[in-house]
Amino acid sequence: MRWLRIVGCAALLTTLLWSGADVAAQQKPKDLQWTHAFDLSCRPYGKTEFDKETPKFGVEAFRDNNNGLGLYISQAGSIALGGGFQNLKLPFTSKGPDWLTGLDLPARLAGVKEFSKDTKVHSMEVFRDPNANNWLYVTEAGNIAAAPAKGGTGSTNKPPKWIHSVDLLVRKGGNADWKNAVKFGIEVYRDANAGNLIYICQTGHIAIIPEAAESKGDGKAPEWLHGLDLACRKYNEASFTKETRKYGVEIFRDENNGNLIFLAESGSLAVTAGDPQIKAPTPAPVKEPQWTHGLNVKCRTVGEKEFSEKTRTFGMEVFRDENIAATIYVNEVGNIAVVR
């Protein structure tokens, strides 16, 4: 099998990015529009009750008026995309999050065959954002994931069911070969409370997707599609240069259910629905990612009432992968979020 990555020299990268920038200059990208915010609590593993010591994470919600998508970001820099933002009439009086249940998910390191007492267990809480009607999951590390809640309110106290696992390789940005690729273990669980599949990486990063049909967990190996290099400027970095950080991202198809798994070299991941027409690997020539716009995104910490100059700002870029009709967000700390 031939493994391809979209890479190039600094000159090619600059040409690619600034060809997108020239288009953007003709029509200036629209600013993010803040919509609402939450403080989301997550009990550490082993804690059964919420109390004053329970960790909390600030989460901001924005509407990206360039495409109508909702963007969630936590104070830890984790990002997620959601629908239901296009029809929000601003300003509005937002409703607080509806807590649904808590989950504890073990995640093995790549290559580890069995769960054991030494397996890291990641705790998380499940909330519903009633303003945009999305499920929001937050872990004890502040990692978040989102998926449409549709019309349901969910159920409680159903334990997660392990479905299957995969070990996936991802190359670092700028590397065309697999010699120094990093391997990550990823577990897949069913959350019957909200009707979602949860993909959790050994790093603790998570992604969720509504379970369209019951995954059988037959243990089929994933199929690799292609890899991308996505450049992301820091919030105070005005222009793309040869020094701009590039993050490697690999795209795989989960052959157990058809979902597409996007895995970044940071261990951040995203999952979208697949398509039977998508071939693996992606037939050559693989199309280069198209940069659409950049964003500076602020997120307040818990207790920080107002945005200020001291509020943490994350640089973020948005790309289109026309090979699979996906929109990919990547921020300066290497976290990704994807929609198709």
Q: List pLDDT tens digits, range 305-330.
A: 999 999 999 999 999 999 999 999 99
pLDDT the model gives residue 217: 67
Domain count, the chain: 1
pLDDT the model gives residue 219: 78
pLDDT the model gives residue 225: 98
**Are the C-beta atoms of 224 and 232 separated by less than 8 Å?**
no
Total-model pTM: 0.92
pLDDT the model gives residue 212: 84
**Structural domain includes residue 81:** yes
**Structural domain includes residue 3:** no
Tell me the per-residue pLDDT of 91-110, one tens digit each, with 9 for 90 and over: 999 999 999 999 999 999 99
Closest to 269 (Cα-Cα) out of 338, 331, 322: 338
pLDDT the model gives residue 23: 42
**Structural domain includes residue 80:** yes
The average confidence (pLDDT) of the chain is 91
Asked if residue 9 has pLDDT above 60, the reply is: no
The domain in which residue 74 lies consists of: 10-339
Q: Decide which of 28 and 325 is more confident.
A: 325
**Structural domain includes residue 298:** yes
pLDDT the model gives residue 18: 39
At 136 the three-state DSSP class reads strand
**Structural domain includes residue 4:** no
| Across 15-24, 102-111, 193-202, 287-296, least confident range | 15-24
pLDDT the model gives residue 329: 99
pLDDT the model gives residue 154: 75
Give mean pLDDT, residues 220-244: 97
**Structural domain includes residue 145:** yes
| Across 136-140, 182-186, 276-280, 289-293, least confident range | 276-280
Task: Give percent above pLDDT 70 in the chain.
Answer: 91
pLDDT the model gives residue 5: 34
**Structural domain includes residue 279:** yes
CA distance 213 to 74: 30
Burial of residue 180 (CB within 10 Å: 0-12, 13-18, 19+) is exposed
Q: Residue 36: CB partners within 8 Å, gap ≥ 6? A: 61, 92, 94, 131
**Structural domain includes residue 1:** no
Asked if residue 151 has pLDDT above 90, the reply is: no
Closest to 189 (Cα-Cα) out of 171, 201, 175, 177: 201
pLDDT the model gives residue 156: 79
Asked if residue 242 has pLDDT above 60, the reply is: yes
